[in-house]
Structure 1
Amino acid sequence: MFSLMIDIGSISPDFAPSNITGDSDVIYNVLDYGAVSDDKTDNSQAFLKAWSAACNAETGTPKVVVPENLGFLVYPVIFQGPCKPQNIEFLISGTIVAPSSPSIWDQGDVGQWLAFSRINGLSVHGFGTINGRGKGWWDQSCKLHPELALKFIGCNDSRLSNILFTNSPQVHVDITGSYGFSVHKLIIQSPGDAAPNTDGIHIQASHNLSITNSTISSGDDCISIGDYTSDIEVAYVECGPGHGISIGSLGQSGNFAQVENIIVTNCLLNGTTNGARIKTWQVGKGYVRNVVFKNLEFIGVKNPIIIDQNYCQVRGACPELDTGVHISNVTYNTMSGTSSSKIAINLNCSRSFPCSEISMEAIHLESVTPGNQVTASCTNAYGQEIDVLPGPCLQHMSIMK
């Protein structure tokens, strides 16, 4: 169907930059600020010193460099902005490694490992690796895990590209409160049986964001889209193993969800638990609207097309409530492949807030087991469908009225 192409300021500086290549490109190599490439030295302060020097540069486009062919142990750090330059780069050519012992986080914030905060014009890129050493965390209670490997907080007009992420304790990349953010050509790898919440990329309270040309293997959602997000594009992403590409879960604490203008196109989902998924908690409020899933291919996916508007702690035992997040104007177009379960299309919507304006066209799904049949199940879901197998499933809008 398509082809994926994957390539792979508060501390005063103590040293001068090691290499100046002109006013437009000033290099701040972490080695010049005391970083040591071994498996026992905590390089947090060296990284922060290099960052502070770059963030406070008066001219040019500064570039913090993690040099190639070297690995650096880094404890939890926050690279703080705002910075003086309009643009700043963080080039990861080598490897950044998390501490192997969970005890390192005993006195710190378990919510993050590497964080960039309030930086505009940031570019984190290179052909290096970020290794979260997650196994030590997966073997204990998930409540004790640090939330994620790399977090962006309030970073506008910024980008992340060409990095390999491996084995984060939980979420590999988190983007929160950001506008105009581009994610391109990432490879994310963690086992399919890793601990819960090892999402590949999570987006929260962000707008005008794109994720393209990436390969994601994880123990949870490959991509999850949280509350207060809009204008999100996901294109040419290969997902699997994992839980699929998900909008949600939304409204867990009864909050008001606002998610709109989401497009997921030209993606391959291989051996995932879900394919194109929208999941909202019964106690939630608000809306999900203007969503497009188009040109998707499924290989042995358990739930290729799924909406669960009755999400709760105990699956299948949710009492019916009169609350819900309204899901409307969702388009599924041009999809094919195989389902590993009998129900290939499953729209489980709320009686109080039915799913409306659902459109399905050119969808051809069959069982991964030759000779077996698949079915479609739609509850409180209204719209229209053309050339959909299995089907028909949706109820007509006239019935809703």
Structure 2
Amino acid sequence: MDKYGNIRRPVRCLFLLAMVAKSHAAVIDIKTKGATGDGNTDDGPAILAAWKEACEGASPSSVLIPPGTYMALSIVLAGPCKGPIEMQATGATVKAPPELAKFKTDTWISIQNLNMFTMTGGTFDGQGQQTWKSTKCHDSQMTCEIPVNFRLSHVKNSLFKDFTSANSKNFHIALWACDNCNFVNVTINAPENSVNTDGIHIARLNGLNITNSNIMTGDDCISFGDGSKNVYIEKVTCGPGHGISIGSLGKFPNEEPVQGIWIKNCTITGTTNGVRIKSWPASHPGIASDIHFEDIVMNKVGNPILIDQEYCPHDACKKSTPSKVKLSNVSFRKIRGTSTTKVAMKLACSAEAPCDNVEVADINLKVHGGGPASSKCSNVKPKVTGENVPQICPGGTY
């Protein structure tokens, strides 16, 4: 954020790039490579053949998945390519096989080592219903490799727009080392009872915009791992799911800092949490700073505002040992709506590394169904401005 309070967005010309690529691209239709589009035959080889030709051909190039229904086993769309490349799937539905046994990897569609890639349109259905019901897989992650719908690694300066990820067996979209990318008008859809279906998981990247998108899932709508830097999220609707989460942090040694996260003008509905930052007790040292939540509507949300540095699912950690993750320069501004829990704001910071420079301003949260909400704070002295309901940290930190 600059000295005037404006958000510094990554500088890029992706939309211009997309228009140039579309107007001059050599288009390779997957049906010319043998795709049947009958919804049962594996059309993955045809997609890969079209990709290979586009990637190796004169730039820019485009892979076309025309309208229809296709089935594909695991595919890898890999670069580097000779120039900008696009995958256009408007009107198409691509389905993964529902049987987990048909996967030998933890990824359905892998996109890797690309610069200036554009993906437009399409519905990508992971058909995860059978997998969510598998007690074997979700009781012990060592027993199965559960594929995410999309795994992106080392994809730079790229644009993803107007597409749907549905019913992933695991995370929908996992981003690793993907700098300066845009996600625009993305729909993520899985039922509330789906298991471990995080919408977008972010880690080890610098520069990401997610805008005008709708995420409905059974886990975090958006989750942040270590090394997430300069991420801007605006006009996203979230719910059902577990909300928008920074972390959990500190579980592993040598985690990279989380820095520069702006989440603004979003609506969260019917989720178990709203906006939260979480780290493990007895954690390894870590840093998370410059994290800002502003202009967010909560509709019947459990724990609308939450810092939880005692995060310990299934009681599988040492709660008595404080977290060593240091949180600083955090703000919650203009957050309003209804909470399904009485404690609408809880700032539970670490006794060993108390939170620094936390700002709370213009909060208006009430308990859904009536009755006053409350707030609790520990190991933090927030800067409180504006008019706030409930009263912020009555009695101070405890």
Whether the TM-score (by the shorter chain) exceeds 0.5 is yes
Cα separation, partners in 2 of 1:384 and 1:38, compared to 1, 3 Å? same
Letter matched to residue 77 of structure 2: F
Q: TM-score, normalised by structure 1?
A: 0.88
**Separation in structure 2 between the aligned mates of residue 265 and residue 323 of structure 1, nearest angstrom:** 28
What percent identity do the matched residue pairs reach?
31
Counterpart in the other structure of 1:123: 118
1:123 maps to amino acid: T
In the alignment, the residues of structure 1 paired with residue 226 and residue 389 of structure 2 have an alpha-carbon distance, to the nearest angstrom, of 32
Q: Within 2, Cα distance between the matches of 1:374 and 1:124?
A: 44
Q: Tell me what 1:209 maps to.
A: 208
1:300 is paired with a residue whose SS is: strand
Structure 1 pair 22–115 and aligned structure 2 pair: CA distance change class (3 A): closer
Question: What SS class does the counterpart of residue 377 from structure 1 fall into?
Answer: strand
Matched to 2:124, the amino acid is: I
| Residue deviations 1:185-219 (CA, integer Å, cap 9, x gap) | 01111001111x20111111111101000010000
* Number of corresponding residues: 369
TM-score, normalised by the number of residues in structure 2: 0.89
Q: Distance in 1 between matches of 2:175 and 2:255?
A: 20
| Unmatched 5+ stretches in structure 2 | 1-20
Residue 380 of structure 1 aligns to which amino acid in structure 2? N
Q: Paired residue for 1:9?
A: none
- Please list the CA deviations of residues 279-315 of structure 1 after superposition, one character each: whole Å capped at 9, or x if unmatched: 1112132111011100000000001000111222435
CA distance in 2, matches of 1:395, 1:381: 12
2:15 counterpart residue number = none
Cα shift at 1:151? 1.4
Contact kept, 8 Å, 1:145 with 1:170, in 2: the verdict is no
Aligned match of 2:80: 82
CA RMSD, aligned part only? Answer: 1.9
Once the two structures are superposed, residues 207-260 of structure 1 have per-residue CA deviations (whole angstroms, 9 ceiling, x without a partner) of 110100001000000011111011000100000001101111122224434101
Separation in 1 of the partners of 2:276 and 2:292?
11
Aligned to 2:17: none
1:133 aligns with 2:133: no
Distance 1:276 1:218 in 2: 16
- Give secondary structure in 1 for the equivalent of 2:32: helix
| Off by >6 Å, runs of 4+ in structure 1 | none
Shift of 1:382: 2.1
2:65 aligned residue: 66
Task: Please name the residue that 1:234 is paired with.
Answer: 233
Find the aligned partners of 1:323 and 1:225 in 2 and give their Cα distance: 18
The Cα offsets for residues 81-123 of structure 1, whole Å up to 9 and x where unpaired, read as: 00001x1101112011001211101xx21x2110111000001
State the distance in 1 between where 2:374 and 2:23 align: 63
Residues 104, 368 of structure 1: alpha-carbon distance in 2 compared, 3 angstrom cutoff: same
Taking structure 1 as reference, are residues 147 and 309 closer, same or farther at Cα in structure 2, changes over 3 Å only? farther
Deviation at 1:49, TM superposition (A): 0.6
CA contact (8 A) 2:166 2:189 kept: yes
After TM superposition, give the deviation of residue 41 of structure 1 in Å. Answer: 1.1
CA contact (8 A) 2:310 2:322 kept: no
- Residue number in structure 2 paired with 1:32: 32
